[in-house]
């Protein structure tokens, strides 16, 4: 092959590869959700839905059959169709340029390169939308029209006698018709085609008749769709214009928006302080081309054109003139018509330039021609090409580095529904694109299944295809869903609609809330029709609010996302001195084992009742898949809205038990592993005699850990054997040389050994270990596997993630506190309190404690600082992990010989008789470290004189 052919193939291949990168990075957005929804419906229903949409059906039909071919609507696989259809435009761009400018190959290669690196074409080459296909069909139609017209331009017209013109006319008819069935705005390009071709063929009766016949037949073949769709379409567009209230764009704004989008795309780099900077390189390129063309013409008129640029034959000049007239017509006529439509129907959303994307190739062809014509005129063509390259680089960089649609990312939301759902649940939606999201992200053989798993529920439910309003019919639909099981409701609350709050109020009156979590612009709630449990007295005084009674039901539940309800009776009291004064707190429900490990939890905000008033509420919690069978406690704690835990009066405890729950093994068929709350799945999962490691939850590559703190991981294990072996797990933290620096080996569930697991069991296995406080800052690999305790044999380690560890900066210079202890009290064998600084005002006391570290203290302990009255009652307190002015300083990170200063603030005025008491305690066991002075026992705290 010739060198030019290799260059052509290289550019087309590179452009296609560029469009194939990171197809799964960006989430779907609403319009793509609509595409999946339409394409996953039966063809007849798809046509009916499309007739009510603002786009014709061809792309949706192609996507429908593509999804059937690949076996699912997974976004990365489905987007390959858009990549393929849009990449076809690259060779067509080159072919059209060679047909328009046959005497020179450089404009064709330049035009191809400009389209291959076009940020906006790249953008729509990856979207599950029809715009890339429309560009390809538009290019194909333009090339066929040019070839058709050429048949009548030859001097002897030999091609007319061979009927080649009929083949081109027929192919143009089919291509133009396909464009119309892809994008309504393709009609603007076909109008431009018709005007230019009629003028060009006005002296060729046969050609003009053939062309008009092709258009007439095209119209007749398109007429059925117009009769079917236009009545519904006009109603949709009219209501859309009325609801959006867009203002018509003036001519300058219209051109500026399209030129900006066509040069650098829709995505902006955060580094660019203003949008006009994105337009600057394109503006410079256009100005350079215009100046070069003016200078070239001036030099030619002076007879100096041979020195400035290569001579152009008269035939080539005539061919160029005809080609340029075509390009200008195909570019300007659609833009002008689009602007006129904008004046009449001012519907121009963000990214609305995509409707005229079909004109992009002709703009790039004109730029390529201008660059070629001015290539040697003071190097202006080269400067223009460089400016356009800068534009492309900016746009492509923004495309691959800027997250888009993050507020509409349903992936974590749907993952939670799948993991916490069950076969009887319902996913209640109010927009079709939400159904499209579900079908794309669950990507299975049917709308409610996931690949490789039998996962029939929750079932997605869209009450109506048109605008949904509150009605008796919708109420009956919700009631029926509640009777079946849990109703999951993703609420898009940024649309300004009153429907989501109305539905939520109704659900709140007839069901128990199981979940309430924000995912950016969407709030996910879950509801189950559970009877309120009976309550028993439970007194826990958290300060400004007191838990008077509580109860849970049922008291036995399977580890299969089964819901349990908890009723809480709160009593608000006037805030006492030093207590919390607020109208809102955060309540936490925690399902924990006898060791205090939390297996399930949920937090929600609660507005406190008026002082002296009681509030009774019923809320819910799901018992997650993978919990070992056994007895558990449901506990309640209260935090401030800032997350500070409130202690129960008379103790350091921050939670109180409200009921006992017996968790049982799920019965019946084997559960899907997709129900496990796995954050990160393992691709090549190790197995040991039927036991399989599926994945883990815990720190990921974005996590930075402080040396001396705990690293907690939950491994998820499945049993595929009727007689599983006794097995353990191991976790290892490896440095860059592969040496282990910390880890865990053993079995953290002594009451549930693997040998007792039934076949099909799915189990969460929590494990943790502490990082050494002296661990150097750097990057470490976390690996895991299964271990045979009898032989010590291990499965090959599987790398879970890479972690960044940061060692806390320590000071080893002895400080000088305001108040020093002559005999510093010692806490256990770990630290001495050298002294303190104390500052008071009418509202608070600020205390700085000076510590000398003897050795790290694990498990991490908290420091308590209490202000006690003369009778010993605590008036104010601050309990929590140590922190210095430089940040957190957990006791596990303390280094021998280190000196550190911790700061504590006690709110409220102090009486002269008050005392301040300081100590260290284990927050889990509430056990305080003993204090000694000169080797003699001195209690479990120190009173500051």
Reported as a single tens digit per residue, the pLDDT across 828-858 is 999 999 999 998 887 889 999 999 999 999 8
Contacts of 542 (CB under 8 A, 6+ apart): 580, 585, 638, 646, 647, 648, 649
Res. 155: pLDDT tops 50: no
In the numeric block, the tokens 């009877």 are attached to 531
Res. 299: pLDDT tops 80: no
Distance in angstroms (rounded) separating the CA atoms of residues 40 and 780: 45
Instruction: Check if the beta carbon of residue 664 is closer than 8 Å to that of residue 556.
Output: yes
Element (H, E) at 919: strand 915-921
Distance in angstroms (rounded) separating the CA atoms of residues 488 and 526: 4
Q: Which of 711, 708, 712, 710 is nearest to 889 (CA)?
A: 708
535 by DSSP, 3-state: which? coil
Of the candidate ranges 302-306, 567-571, 905-909, the one whose mean pLDDT is the lowest: 302-306
Reported as a single tens digit per residue, the pLDDT across 534-571 is 999 988 998 878 999 999 999 999 999 999 999 999 98
pLDDT of the residue at 753: 96
CA Rg value for the chain: 36
723 by DSSP, 3-state: which? coil
Q: Burial of 713 by CB count in 10 Å (0-12 exposed, 13-18 middle, 19+ buried)?
A: buried
Of 316 and 155, which is predicted with more confidence? 316
Beta strands in 52-163 (DSSP E): none
The overall average pLDDT reported for the chain is 88
Reported as a single tens digit per residue, the pLDDT across 330-350 is 999 999 999 998 888 777 777
Res. 776: pLDDT tops 50: yes
In the numeric block, the tokens 């039934």 are attached to 758
Res. 811: pLDDT tops 80: yes
pLDDT of the residue at 237: 66
Residue 272 half-sphere exposure toward CB, CA atoms < 13 A: 18
Instruction: Check if the beta carbon of residue 94 is closer than 8 Å to that of residue 109.
Output: yes
pLDDT of the residue at 274: 59
Res. 455: pLDDT tops 60: no
Angle at 837 between CA 832 and CA 842, to 5 degrees: 135
Of the candidate ranges 224-228, 640-644, 713-717, the one whose mean pLDDT is the lowest: 640-644
Contacts of 176 (CB under 8 A, 6+ apart): 137, 141, 186, 190, 193, 214, 218
Res. 71: pLDDT tops 50: yes
Res. 358: pLDDT tops 50: yes
Q: Edge-to-edge strand order for the sheet containing 584-592?
A: 556-558, 655-664, 630-639, 584-592, 598-607
Instruction: Check if the beta carbon of residue 124 is closer than 8 Å to that of residue 354.
Output: yes
Reported as a single tens digit per residue, the pLDDT across 849-888 is 999 999 999 889 999 999 988 888 888 888 889 999 989 9
Structure tokens belonging to residue 775: 């661990």
Neighbours of 334 (CB within 10 A): 25
Reported as a single tens digit per residue, the pLDDT across 645-684 is 888 887 778 899 999 999 999 876 568 888 999 999 988 7
Q: Which of 899, 918, 770 is nearest to 847 (CA)?
A: 918
Structure tokens belonging to residue 880: 């929590």
**Residues 520-529, mean pLDDT to the nearest whole number:** 94
Distance in angstroms (rounded) separating the CA atoms of residues 487 and 676: 19
245 — pLDDT class (breaks 50, 70, 90): low
pLDDT of the residue at 311: 42
Q: Edge-to-edge strand order for the sheet containing 487-492?
A: 459-461, 426-428, 487-492, 522-528, 512-519, 614-623, 562-572, 545-553, 536-541
Structure tokens belonging to residue 184: 């309504």
Res. 446: pLDDT tops 60: no
Res. 168: pLDDT tops 70: yes
Distance in angstroms (rounded) separating the CA atoms of residues 388 and 262: 11
pLDDT of the residue at 327: 95
Of the candidate ranges 454-468, 493-507, 863-877, 893-907, the one whose mean pLDDT is the lowest: 454-468
pLDDT of the residue at 472: 94
Reported as a single tens digit per residue, the pLDDT across 408-433 is 899 999 999 999 999 899 999 999 99
Q: Edge-to-edge strand order for the sheet containing 740-746?
A: 704-706, 798-806, 778-787, 728-734, 740-746
pLDDT of the residue at 884: 92
The whole model's pTM is what?
0.87
**How much of the chain, in percent, has pLDDT values that exceed 70?**
92
Angle at 802 between CA 799 and CA 807, to 5 degrees: 135
Element (H, E) at 557: strand 556-558
pLDDT of the residue at 701: 80
What residues pair up with 657 in beta bridges, in sequence order? 635
| Rounded (10°) angle between helices 43-51 and 58-70 | 150
Distance in angstroms (rounded) separating the CA atoms of residues 419 and 428: 17
pLDDT of the residue at 375: 86
Instruction: Check if the beta carbon of residue 732 is closer than 8 Å to that of residue 740.
Output: yes
pLDDT of the residue at 610: 81
Res. 391: pLDDT tops 90: no
Distance in angstroms (rounded) separating the CA atoms of residues 646 and 649: 9
Q: What is the DSSP string of 193-238?
A: HHHHHHHHTTT-HHHHHHHHHHHHHHHHHHHHHHHHHHHHHHHHHH
Distance in angstroms (rounded) separating the CA atoms of residues 220 and 218: 5
Reported as a single tens digit per residue, the pLDDT across 753-762 is 999 999 999 9
**How much of the chain, in percent, has pLDDT values that exceed 90?**
61
């Amino acid at each position: 092959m010739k060198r030019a052919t290799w260059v052509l193939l290289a550019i087309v291949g590179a452009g296609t590869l560029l469009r194939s990168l990171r197809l799964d990075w960006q989430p779907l957005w609403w319009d793509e959700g609509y595409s999946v929804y339409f394409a996953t419906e039966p063809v007849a229903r798809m046509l009916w839905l499309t007739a009510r949409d603002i786009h014709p059906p061809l792309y949706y039909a192609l996507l429908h059959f593509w999804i059937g071919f690949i076996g699912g609507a997974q976004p990365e696989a489905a987007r390959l169709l858009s990549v393929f259809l849009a990449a076809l435009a690259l060779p067509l761009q080159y072919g059209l340029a060679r047909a328009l400018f046959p005497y020179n190959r450089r404009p064709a290669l330049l035009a191809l390169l400009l389209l291959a690196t076009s940020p906006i074409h790249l953008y729509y080459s990856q979207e599950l939308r029809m715009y890339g296909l429309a560009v390809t069909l538009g290019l194909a139609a333009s090339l066929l029209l040019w070839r058709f017209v050429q048949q009548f331009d030859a001097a002897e017209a030999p091609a007319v006698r061979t009927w080649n013109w009929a083949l081109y006319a027929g192919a143009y008819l089919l291509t133009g018709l396909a464009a119309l069935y892809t994008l309504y705005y393709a009609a603007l390009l076909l109008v431009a085609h018709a005007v230019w071709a009629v003028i060009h063929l006005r002296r060729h009766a046969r050609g003009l008749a053939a062309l008009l016949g092709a258009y007439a037949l095209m119209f007749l073949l398109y007429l059925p769709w117009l009769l079917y769709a236009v009545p519904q379409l006009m109603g949709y567009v009219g209501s859309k214009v009325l609801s959006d209230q867009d203002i018509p764009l003036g001519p300058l704004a219209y051109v500026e928006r399209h030129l900006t989008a066509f040069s650098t795309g829709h995505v902006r780099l955060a580094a660019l302080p203003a949008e006009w900077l994105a337009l600057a390189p394109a503006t410079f390129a256009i100005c350079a081309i215009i100046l070069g063309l003016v200078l070239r013409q001036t030099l030619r008129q002076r007879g100096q054109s041979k020195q400035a640029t290569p001579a152009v034959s008269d035939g080539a000049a005539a061919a160029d003139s005809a080609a340029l007239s075509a390009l200008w017509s195909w570019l300007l006529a659609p833009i002008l018509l689009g602007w006129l439509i904008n004046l009449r129907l001012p519907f121009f959303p963000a990214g609305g330039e995509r409707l005229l994307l079909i004109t992009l190739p002709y703009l790039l062809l004109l730029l390529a021609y201008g660059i070629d014509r001015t290539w040697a005129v003071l190097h202006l063509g080269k400067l223009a090409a460089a400016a356009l390259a800068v534009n492309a680089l900016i746009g492509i960089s923004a495309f691959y580095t800027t997250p888009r649609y993050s507020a509409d990312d349903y992936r974590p939301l749907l993952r939670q529904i799948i993991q916490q759902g069950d076969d009887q649940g319902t996913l209640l939606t109010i927009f079709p694109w939400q159904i499209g999201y579900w079908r794309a992200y669950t990507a299975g053989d049917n709308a409610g299944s996931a690949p490789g798993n039998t996962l029939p529920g929750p079932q997605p439910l869209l009450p109506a295809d048109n605008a949904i309003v509150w009605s008796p019919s919708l109420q009956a639909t919700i009631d029926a869903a509640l009777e079946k099981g849990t109703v999951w409701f993703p609420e898009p609350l940024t649309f300004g609609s009153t429907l989501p709050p109305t539905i939520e109020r109704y659900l709140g009156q007839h069901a128990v809330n199981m979940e309430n979590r924000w995912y950016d612009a969407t709030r996910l709630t879950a509801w189950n029709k559970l009877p309120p449990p009976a309550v028993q007295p439970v007194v826990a005084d958290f300060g400004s609010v007191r838990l008077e009674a509580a109860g849970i039901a049922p008291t036995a539940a399977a580890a299969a996302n089964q819901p349990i309800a908890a009723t809480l009776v709160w009593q608000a009291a006037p805030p006492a001195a030093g207590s919390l004064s607020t109208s809102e707190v955060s309540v936490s429900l925690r399902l924990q084992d006898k060791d205090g490990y939390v297996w399930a939890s949920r937090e929600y905000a609660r507005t406190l009742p008026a002082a002296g008033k009681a509030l009774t509420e019923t809320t819910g919690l799901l018992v997650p898949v993978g919990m070992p069978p056994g007895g558990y406690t449901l506990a309640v704690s209260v935090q401030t809205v800032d997350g500070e835990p409130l202690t129960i009066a008379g103790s350091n405890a921050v939670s109180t038990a409200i009921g006992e729950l017996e968790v049982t093994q799920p019965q019946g068929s084997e559960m899907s592993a997709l129900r496990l709350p796995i954050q990160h799945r393992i691709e090549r999962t190790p197995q040991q005699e039927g036991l399989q490691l599926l994945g883990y939850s815990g720190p990921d590559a974005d996590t930075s850990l402080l040396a001396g703190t705990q690293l907690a991981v939950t491994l998820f294990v499945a049993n595929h054997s009727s007689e599983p072996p006794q097995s353990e797990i191991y976790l290892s933290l490896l440095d860059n040389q592969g040496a282990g620096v910390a880890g865990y080996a053993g079995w953290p569930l002594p009451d549930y050994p693997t040998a007792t697991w039934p076949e099909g069991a799915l189990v969460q296995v929590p494990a943790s270990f502490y990082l050494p406080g002296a661990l150097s800052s750097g990057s470490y690999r976390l690996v895991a596997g299964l271990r045979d305790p009898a032989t010590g044999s291990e499965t090959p380690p599987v790398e879970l993630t890479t972690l960044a560890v940061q060692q806390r900066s320590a000071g080893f210079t002895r400080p000088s506190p305001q108040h020093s202890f002559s005999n510093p009290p010692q806490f256990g064998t770990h630290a001495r309190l050298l002294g303190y600084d104390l500052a008071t005002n009418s509202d608070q006391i600020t205390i700085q404690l000076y510590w000398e570290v003897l050795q790290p203290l694990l498990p991490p302990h908290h420091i308590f600082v209490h202000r006690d009255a003369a009778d010993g009652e605590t008036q104010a307190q601050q309990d929590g992990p140590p922190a210095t002015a430089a940040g957190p300083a957990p006791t596990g990170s303390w280094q021998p010989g280190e000196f550190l200063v911790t700061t504590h603030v006690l709110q409220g005025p102090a009486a002269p008789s008050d005392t301040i008491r300081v100590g260290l305690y284990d927050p889990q066991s509430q056990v305080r470290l003993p204090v000694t002075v000169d080797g003699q026992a001195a209690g479990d705290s120190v009173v500051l004189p």
